[in-house]
Amino acid sequence: MKIVVIPGDGIGPETMAVCDEVLLSVSKRFELNIELSHESAGQESLKKTGATVTTELLEKVKKADGLMLGPMSTLELGQASKGEINASLFFRKNLDLYANIRPAKTYPGLTKRVQQDFDLIVVRENTEGFYADRNVESGSSEMLITPDVVISLRRITRHCCERIARSAFILAQNRKKHVTIVHKANVLKIADNMFIDICHQVGKEFPDVRIDDFIVDAMMAHVVRAPDQFDVIVTTNMFGDILSDLTSELSGSLGLAGTLNAGIDFAMGQAAHGSAPDIAGKNIANPFSQIISAAMLLNWYGQKHDSKSFIAASQAMEQITLELMKSGQVTPDVGGNLKTDEIAKAFIKQLQMKN
């Protein structure tokens, strides 16, 4: 498996270095023959090439089997026409990575933010919705009509609703067989009612999966109060972006939140958190989000190619992550005292102890 690795900005190079060590150790242990090809995007690329991400890099990624993307600094980005491009959006759009899959759960050994243990997944549509930068062929769907009037358009299509719904039901089929649809159909009556209807239509293909739905604002309260009542949550882009950060934080920290952006032919593992420039270079950043994302990428590849070795490697990565958390071998943000690079050593030691 050939993986393009883009460390990213801020703490990205530190957390990705740990992920590299973990991937290469797992590759050796399970004989996966993983090849890592390091490329630059973000602020480093902007200084070198005049653009945060280039079409040449996209072509390299397309020739690989997967992509690992580190956190990117996006707040200071200006006009895309000047090369200041959101790299995450760039790859999601150009590789048609329509499913953003964000698991969130409580971990034994770590302080819980809620009383109940829970294990859920937010499945978020990734390519349309309230995001103005992916709704029209050229430019933005957000328009400045007068200096005092802005109109922002939202696009919802049957095609995108069907495929994100199917992704959710496939996941639920192999979990607790429960899909929750999150929407705002009481206000967005046409678009969100279409989304709900399509989810139910796809759900007929999975008769043993239970379906319910919640208005998004009510869902926020329900998730905080009783996250254990949910299994797979499917929703549109903006709602999913907000909800997945909430559920990740309930699990303990965004630093524990893995993400897979998946399409039909390609997938990208991506840390859920930002570049955290305030702690960059201090060797205290939490690398588990990156490791969990890498495990999800290996599992996606294993499922796609029917490879038991890749699936087993992914499961081993998840299990070792759980063992490290349970034993308190974590970074300070979640109550431990290990440095960022020490997580790699602890992980590899645990891997070597397995038969």
Q: What is the pLDDT of residue 75?
A: 65
Which amino acid would we find at residue 265? D
Q: What is the pLDDT of residue 148?
A: 96
Q: Are 209 and 169 in contact (CB under 8 A)?
A: yes
Q: What is the pLDDT of residue 80?
A: 72
Residues with pLDDT less than 70, the chain: 75-76, 78, 81, 355
Q: What is the pLDDT of residue 86?
A: 83
User: For 212-227, how does the pLDDT look when each residue is reduced to its tens digit (9 = 90+)?
Assistant: 999 999 999 999 999 9
Q: What is the pLDDT of residue 17?
A: 97
Query: Domains in the chain and their CATH numbers?
Result: 1-94+275-355 (3.40.718.10), 114-250 (3.40.718.10)
CA distances from 236 to 156, 190, 200 (A): 9, 14, 15
Q: What is the pLDDT of residue 304?
A: 95
Of the candidates 14, 20, 35, 26, which has an alpha carbon nearest to the alpha carbon of residue 317?
26
Q: What is the CA radius of gyration of the chain?
A: 20
Q: Report the distance separating Cα 6 and Cα 39, nearest Å.
A: 5
pTM reported for the whole predicted model: 0.92
Q: What proportion of the chain, given as a percentage, has pLDDT over 70? A: 98
Of the candidates 285, 202, 250, 213, which has an alpha carbon nearest to the alpha carbon of residue 16?
285
